[in-house]
């Protein structure tokens, strides 16, 4: 019998500019743009393979689907699946590692360069004729910074952290890393630091560590208070790494210069999220992973995961 494959929330991965054909050829595929909790069981009924990006599959859902044999997470993070419940039922769970490394690293520098040069601010001001009415050939109404020579502190040194470091070297930045790796395992010239030393000394801190009990809300009032007043924080990792009220307070007080964020603790955010009204913060709507190239790669790896599972040799197991 042909495998029934259901994708519960395919829209963010493929809003219509890509093809599901690599997955479609592996079974009887049905794709839903989005699925509310009330419709999950109805839509997934009879499916042996269920794919989800952000639609939560908890124990109640998993236990209500007797035909389910495989859950494919269309992302790297797997917190949306009750892994214990899945494993109890013998369900294989896979994820998609390392598909967006270059895209996320690229966004780190899009945010950072926007903070140090403010191109959108100047474009807006010039459309209001600020340059037209200027007495000089150039004007500066925001501080401008060179990245060369600055210390970049990278928290977490997996695929993305390492790629960010490589790009930073091209800008002439020095590299410090908080990581479980030993100093001997780091590239020449990189310095391993404790979290406190890194936050105290770095000119820019960028977060690339997993969200875990020891990292949840690690960016708090205490850590922010030891950062340089002209330091910049970048978070393209997980929103839960940041105590958002503490960061908003630090920005209001000028304890740090600016922040660039692609992730928040709740997505979409509540209207009263304190960072939405904080000064000197750039917030993008979790787009680091979403380049066309990365999404195409995600679909291809999804298909490869399913093929390997169907062949009896699953890969990217969680």
- Cα–Cα nearest to 206, from 230, 180, 178, 225: 178
Question: How many degrees, rounded to 5, is the angle at CA 138 between CA 106 and CA 146?
Answer: 35
Q: What is the DSSP letter of 204?
A: E
- Cα–Cα nearest to 38, from 13, 50, 63, 55: 55
Q: Measured between alpha carbons, how far is 28 from 5 in angstroms, rounded to an integer?
A: 6
For 192, phi and psi rounded to 5 degrees?
-80, 130
Tell me, yes or no, if 42 is annotated catalytic. Answer: no
Q: Measured between alpha carbons, how far is 263 from 314 in angstroms, rounded to an integer?
A: 31
Q: Are 195 and 224 in contact (CB under 8 A)?
A: no
Which of 238, 244, 295, 297 is the catalytic position?
238
Q: Measured between alpha carbons, how far is 151 from 272 in angstroms, rounded to an integer?
A: 34
Question: How many degrees, rounded to 5, is the angle at CA 276 between CA 120 and CA 206?
Answer: 70
Tell me, yes or no, if 128 is annotated catalytic. Answer: no
Q: Provide the pairing of β-strand 204-207 with 232-235.
A: parallel
Q: Provide the pairing of β-strand 174-178 with 49-52.
A: unpaired
Tell me, yes or no, if 121 is annotated catalytic. Answer: no
The CA-atom distances, in angstroms, between 285 and each of 240, 260, 300 are 15, 11, 24
Three-class secondary structure of residue 119 per DSSP: helix
Q: Are 51 and 8 in contact (CB under 8 A)?
A: yes
Q: Measured between alpha carbons, how far is 299 from 306 in angstroms, rounded to an integer?
A: 11
Q: What is the DSSP letter of 269?
A: P
Which of 146, 166, 196, 267 is the catalytic position?
267
Catalytically active residues, by annotation: 238, 267, 286
């Amino acid at each position: 019998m042909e495998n029934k494959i259901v994708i519960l929330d395919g829209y963010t991965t493929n809003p219509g500019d890509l093809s599901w054909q690599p997955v479609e050829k592996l079974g009887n595929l049905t794709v839903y743009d989005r699925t509310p909790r009330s419709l999950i069981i109805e839509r997934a009924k009879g499916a042996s393979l269920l794919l989800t990006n952000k639609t939560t599959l908890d124990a109640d859902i998993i236990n209500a689907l007797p035909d389910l044999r495989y859950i494919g997470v269309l992302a790297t993070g797997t917190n949306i699946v009750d892994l214990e419940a899945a494993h109890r039922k013998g369900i294989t769970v896979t994820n998609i590692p390392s598909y967006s490394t270059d895209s996320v690293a690229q966004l780190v520098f899009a945010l950072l360069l926007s903070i140090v040069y403010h191109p959108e601010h100047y474009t807006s001001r010039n459309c209001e004729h600020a340059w037209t009415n200027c007495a000089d050939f150039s004007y500066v109404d925001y501080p401008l910074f060179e990245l060369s020579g600055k210390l970049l502190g990278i928290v977490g040194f997996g695929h993305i952290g390492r790629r960010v470091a490589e790009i930073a070297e091209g800008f002439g930045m020095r590299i410090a890393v908080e990581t479980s790796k030993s100093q001997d395992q780091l590239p020449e010239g990189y310095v391993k630091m404790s979290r406190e030393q890194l936050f105290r000394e770095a000119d820019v801190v960028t977060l690339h560590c997993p969200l875990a009990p020891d990292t949840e809300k690690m960016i708090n009032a205490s850590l922010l208070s030891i950062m340089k007043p002209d330091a910049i924080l970048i978070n393209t990792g997980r929103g839960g790494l940041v105590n958002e009220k503490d960061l908003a307070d630090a920005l209001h007080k000028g304890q740090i210069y600016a922040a660039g964020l692609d992730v928040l603790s709740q997505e979409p955010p509540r209207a009263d999220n304190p960072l939405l009204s904080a000064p000197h913060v750039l917030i993008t709507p979790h787009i680091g992973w979403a380049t066309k190239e990365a999404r195409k790669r995600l679909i291809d790896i999804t298909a490869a995961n399913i093929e390997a599972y169907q062949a009896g040799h699953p890969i990217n197991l969680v």
